[in-house]
Amino acid sequence: MLKSKQLLQQFSKEYAKYTPTNFRLKRALVVTKLSRYEFEQLRHPELSPDQLQQKLRDRGTDVEMVLHLHKVHKDFERRIVQSFQDVGCEVKLSSRSSLSKDVMSWADVIVPVGGDGTFLLSAGRASPLFALSQQKTPIVGFNSDPLHSEGRLMLPKHYSDNPADAVSRIKSGDFKWMHRSRVRTTMLGSNGKIPEPTDLFRHTEVKMEQVSTAPEILDQDMAHKYKAKMKRVLPYLALNEVFIGEHLSARVSHLQLVLDHQDVVNKTKCSGLCVSTGTGSTSWHTSINRITSRDVDDLLRSLPNGNSKNVMMLRQNAEEIAQRYNQGLLFAPDDPRLCYSIREQICVGVWPSPKTFKERDFVQTVFVKSHCIDANLVIDGSISFPFNDGAKALLEVHPEDALLTIALD
């Protein structure tokens, strides 16, 4: 396995191949957020606006707030469109349901407007597995409601107050390119078939256009190591993380892991596996692994000399210690490594096996075999594939899969 610095240097050279040298902004594709009000309209197409609002009130929903947030988003969406038109751009609007290969290839830049969910959706379609050509279309997002949404994947919040300034900078080339690593998921098996995915936002099966993935025969070493004949890449790349675990959170997830193609098979019972990128390290990865000042204080008090002067001084700085620890969980968006985290691993009796198995570590590849009953492999909290007993997947990072984004500041 390459050391992290060598791996980063190798990926940096590869990233340079996919960095535009003559970017010209002429066509912008604005991807619109599905607001809560629009979601309710889709759920109840038979109701008039007045009937829908009454139904929501009867249910206990704060209808006035739902309508207010819908208006806030739509007003901001119009400002974004106008900002691009003011610098001479042709603009097209697209919803998540109308994104297609043709409209994606038409654009010079993809502009998700909303929150991180809208960005992740757009990123999923800005994929070499989905595109008509291997030329990458950059993506840059605007937070439509920074008062109610963190939007870590979007431009800094002050550009929500003045989007025209950001658009002007992009038009003039006053920005930097950022390549965000993504997880490629390859299913291993006997026939190369992919199970039907589900859109977790709409709770419906996903009907994607034909993608450029096909079953392939595994090479002899891989076939022998993982006891499989065929492989097939899933048509979605994960920008944040891939999660594998039982659908019912109260049920224990039983998984086997092989890290970096080593000869050790690690067996775990837990609440699921989260494999994160550097981009995703600010999200679920941190939520799983973060500690609080209370954790620090409890740990220090448990020491034999917990009441000594030196320990007492440390306890007074418990908040700072926790913050430094949590900050150390983050890693760069272009980092070519993955970081896996085992949620609530059972550490009793024979579990985990071997006992030296770490519940969190950096890796380049993760092979996972399921021994679950009703489990899912979930990409960016959005697209879910069944992943039950016997299912096998290989998670890895390739430089050509990185998402090309525009960074200001």
What is the pLDDT, as a whole number, of residue 205? Answer: 61
Asked whether residue 193 carries a pLDDT value surpassing 50, the answer given is yes
Q: Are 28 and 128 within one domain?
A: yes
pLDDT bin (cut points 50, 70, 90) of residue 203 is low
| Residues 337, 324 share a domain | no
Distance of CA 3 to the CA centre of its chain: 25
Whole domain around residue 321: which residue ranges? Answer: 288-330
The verdict on residue 269 lying in a domain is: yes
Residue 272: CB atoms within 10 A of its CB come to: 21
Residue 4 lies in a domain: no
Does 211 have pLDDT greater than 60? no
Residue 1 lies in a domain: no
Residues 199 and 321 in one domain: no
C-alpha 47/C-alpha 34 separation (Å) is 18
- What are the backbone angles phi and psi of residue 374, rounded to the nearest 5°? -140, 75
Instruction: Indicate whether 253 and 151 sit together in one domain.
Output: no
Q: What is the DSSP letter of 279?
A: G
Q: With pLDDT > 90 as the criterion, what percentage of the chain qualifies?
A: 76
What whole-number distance in Å separates Cα of residue 395 and Cα of residue 391?
Answer: 13
Are 396 and 183 a contacting pair, CB within 8 Å? yes
Q: What 3-state class would DSSP assign to 167?
A: helix
* Model confidence at 93: pLDDT above 90: yes
The band of 107, judged by pLDDT with boundaries at 50, 70 and 90, is very high
Q: What is the CATH number of the domain that holds 149?
A: 3.40.50
Total domains, the chain: 3
Residue 210: band (very low, low, confident or very high) from pLDDT cuts 50, 70, 90: very low
Structure tokens at 257: 């892991």
Query: Could you tell me if 233 and 126 lie in one domain?
Result: no
Structure pTM? 0.92
pLDDT digits (tens, 9 = 90+) for 256-311: 999 999 999 999 999 999 999 999 999 999 999 999 999 999 999 999 987 888 88
Pairing assessment for the beta strands 360-363 and 204-205 based on DSSP bridges: unpaired
Same domain, 301 and 377: no
- Over range 183-206, report the average pLDDT: 83
Does residue 407 lie in a domain region?
no
The pLDDT-based confidence of 149 (bands split at 50, 70, 90) is confident
Q: State the amino acid at position 317 in one-letter form.
A: N
Is residue 207 domain-shared with residue 81, that is, in the same domain? no
In a domain, 18, yes or no: no
* Residue 296 DSSP one-character state: H
Say yes or no: 236 and 143 in one domain: no
Q: Kindly tell me if the per-residue pLDDT of 408 is higher than 50.
A: yes
* Alpha helices (runs of H) in 132-291, residue ranges in sequence order: 158-161, 163-172, 220-226, 284-289
Q: Is 366 within a domain?
A: yes
Averaged pLDDT for residues 347-371: 97
| CATH classification of the domain holding 363 | 2.60.200.30
